[in-house]
Amino acid sequence: MTTMELRRRHARTTGIEIRRARATFEPSTLNRDARTVEAVIATDSPVPMPGRIERLSIVPEAVALPTRMPLIDAHNQGSIGNILGYADNFRFDAGGRLWAMLHIRDDHAFELVADGILTGVSIGYRVQKFTDRREAGTGQLVRTVTRFAIVECSLVVVPADENALIRSKTMEDDEVIEPGTETISENPGNETRAEVNAQIRSIAQSVGLGDDFANRMIDEGRDLLHTRAAAFDAMQRRNVNISTVRVGPSGDDPAVVHERMAEALACRATGTAPSDAARPYMNMGFADMARLSLQRAGVPGVNMMGREELVTRAMHVTSDFANLTTATGNRILMPAYTAAESRLKRLARQRTADDFRPMSLLKLGEFGKLAKVTEAGEVKALTTGESVEGYSLDTFGGLFNLSRKAIINDDLGAFARWAEMMGRAAAETEADQLVALLTGNPVLSDGVALFHASHGNLAASGDVPDVDTLSAARLALRRQTGLDGVSPISATPKFVLAPPELETTFEKLLAELAAAKVDDQNPFTGKLTLLVEPRLTDAAAWYVFADPAILPVLEYAYLSSAPGPQLASRDGWETLGREFRVVLDFGAGAVDHRGAYRNPGDSL
């Protein structure tokens, strides 16, 4: 098989045409320490290609170059193990040559280049614009590439060729023929236009592209070379754009429709904007959705039923409508619950419980210091202290009723008011538990109250908040020690908790003010976050807390299977309509004393 035949076969199977030539290395630029050598990687010399002669325009405006491109082994892009280094520092000279600095990281390849054994360089590039012309006398087709992008550079083993460098060209993806150029047959003088057209139709038929592709090639006057390239590109696009089936919830999935209807009802009740998926259901009321639920359940005669019968049958025949009201209630309840959450939750750490049994929190103490090990001495085991605190979950609940009349009348306002009130009630319940825990000053496992002088977290006397009293609180936290009573833990204050009566005082105290002198500067500016809790009935007492993620003092928990308030519903028994029950499984406890400080305060 001849070299030209090998090139044609390679182009047909890979879409890459190989041009073989000798690279020009500049021996004086070889640097063994830096492992670099400068080489000419492209020239404007003509290169024989199948069916034509090709020239590259080696000028800056014609070549799109990256800052750096990979240097690989013989165009083998299948593995990172074939990367030999990289090429950069590209420059053009007046002789129509493109130079590059080759950084060869592979030892074997570098030695072959240094010894003059390996002289082949090949560039991979993508043609963007070209012009074709026929040479006078010989009729030879000459293509001048006027715009192309180089994408990679390879070291290859090639025979010497004085006319050009080694270059590799990828298939033309976005061919643009400049105005005024003529598309000419691949085999000038040997085939008539009719014969070329017949071969174009044969190519289109053999790869399954049909008459439309063949007619387009013929109308554009394409030669066989262009036709084969276009056919190859079309086959690649056809293989890439394989039809795929995406598995996901369909628009008529009952569960999906159920969620969209619940969202639409909740948005109508609260006046919020729906998602695009829920928008088609915004004009549907309870009766309309009851009709849809009955139709999905296969109940006959639905279209003949009135509003009252639709609602009554839907509540008793299918669970879809009952679940719809519950889902809608949840969508209204949860935002109200979240908006009403107490600031005290920011001071506590959250966890979950598997059941209602008392939870024990084991606090491990510090290891202390490492002991010096003498020569031939033993490493002594370290011990740590421990302490256990505990609390358990309680269940809180409430009921409300959505009357049959409200459902038939599509009274979403009443439904929203009840659901929002239950959400706020759940948040209030949590807040009350946390406030009662904090102000009740519970006794810990050491037999001492949470805030006590022996814990070092209670001010000796009540003081009005100012820089001095805040400094005392910070110092008390910094002086806290581990369970061994010796190792410092240096708790860092992060939050100030105060009743509404002290809100303005602390805002002034923590504000950023331009001090006239150094002594007047506020050391707490930007370091503490003020939290105001209206449930604190002592108008003078205030607290300082460390970050609960680092040193928690309070902790609250939900049942792991039911975090937050849980809404359930059933058919009304004593009253007609739907009964809704809100249940909250919640508990809170004090788990450590070292991350908080209390000042009883003083009257202002």
Mind listing the pLDDT tens digit for each residue in 564-575? 899 988 887 777
**Residue 20, pLDDT score:** 44
Give the tokens for residue 102: 């080759």
Query: Is the residue at 267 inside a domain?
Result: yes
Average pLDDT over residues 537-564: 92
Residue 123: how many other CB atoms lie within 10 Å: 24
One domain for residues 282 and 315: yes
Q: At what angle do helices 224-240 and 210-219 cross, to 10 degrees?
A: 140
**Residue 362, pLDDT score:** 56
Give the tokens for residue 269: 């009740």
Torsion from C-alpha of 371, 372, 373, 374, nearest 10 degrees: -140
Residue 318 binned pLDDT confidence (cut-offs 50, 70, 90): low
Phi, psi of 61 (to 5 degrees): -75, -10
Query: Is the residue at 299 inside a domain?
Result: yes
One domain for residues 592 and 537: yes
Based on the structure, what is the number of domains in the chain? 4
One domain for residues 100 and 161: yes
**Residue 434, pLDDT score:** 95
**Residue 521, pLDDT score:** 61
148: β partners: 63, 127
**Residue 240, pLDDT score:** 54
One domain for residues 454 and 546: yes
Query: Is the residue at 100 inside a domain?
Result: yes
Query: Is the residue at 465 inside a domain?
Result: yes
Give the tokens for residue 171: 């298939």
**Residue 431, pLDDT score:** 94
Give the span between the Cα atoms of 402 and 410, in whole angstroms: 11
Statement: residue 512 has pLDDT above 70: no
The pLDDT tens digits for 29-75 are: 788 889 998 888 888 888 877 678 888 888 989 988 888 888 888 77
- Taking the whole predicted model, whether its pTM rises above 0.75 is answered as no
Hunting for tokens 């004090």 — which residue is that? 590
Residue 197 binned pLDDT confidence (cut-offs 50, 70, 90): confident
**Residue 224, pLDDT score:** 76
Average pLDDT over residues 260-268: 89
One domain for residues 102 and 26: yes
Least confident window among 157-161, 368-372, 439-443: 157-161
Single residue among 299, 316, 342 that ends a domain in this structure: 342
Name which residue leads in pLDDT, 373 or 231. Answer: 231
Statement: residue 379 has pLDDT above 80: no
Query: Is the residue at 382 inside a domain?
Result: no
Single residue among 119, 139, 170 that ends a domain in this structure: 170
Range of the domain at 414: 394-599
Q: What is the Cα gyration radius of the chain?
A: 41
Query: Is the residue at 241 inside a domain?
Result: no
Query: Is the residue at 348 inside a domain?
Result: no
Give the span between the Cα atoms of 527 and 494, in whole angstroms: 7
One domain for residues 221 and 309: no
One domain for residues 511 and 417: yes
CATH number of domain containing 491: 3.90.1690.10
Average pLDDT over residues 244-257: 62
Residue 9 binned pLDDT confidence (cut-offs 50, 70, 90): very low
Statement: residue 316 has pLDDT above 60: yes
Give the tokens for residue 528: 């503490």
**Residue 598, pLDDT score:** 96
Residue 345 binned pLDDT confidence (cut-offs 50, 70, 90): very high
> Could you give the angle at the alpha carbon of 130 between the alpha carbons of 127 and 135, nearest 5°?
135
Residue 177 binned pLDDT confidence (cut-offs 50, 70, 90): very low
One domain for residues 420 and 494: yes
One domain for residues 149 and 36: yes
584: β partners: 396
One domain for residues 429 and 572: yes
One domain for residues 123 and 206: no
Single residue among 235, 266, 287 that ends a domain in this structure: 235
Query: Is the residue at 352 inside a domain?
Result: no
One domain for residues 96 and 7: yes
Residue 13 binned pLDDT confidence (cut-offs 50, 70, 90): very low
Name which residue leads in pLDDT, 380 or 602. Answer: 602
Name which residue leads in pLDDT, 167 or 113. Answer: 113
Residue 115 binned pLDDT confidence (cut-offs 50, 70, 90): confident
Average pLDDT over residues 123-133: 83
Statement: residue 346 has pLDDT above 80: yes
Q: What mean pLDDT value characterizes the chain?
A: 79
Average pLDDT over residues 481-500: 86
Distance of CA 433 to the CA centre of its chain: 37
Q: How many residues does the chain have?
A: 604
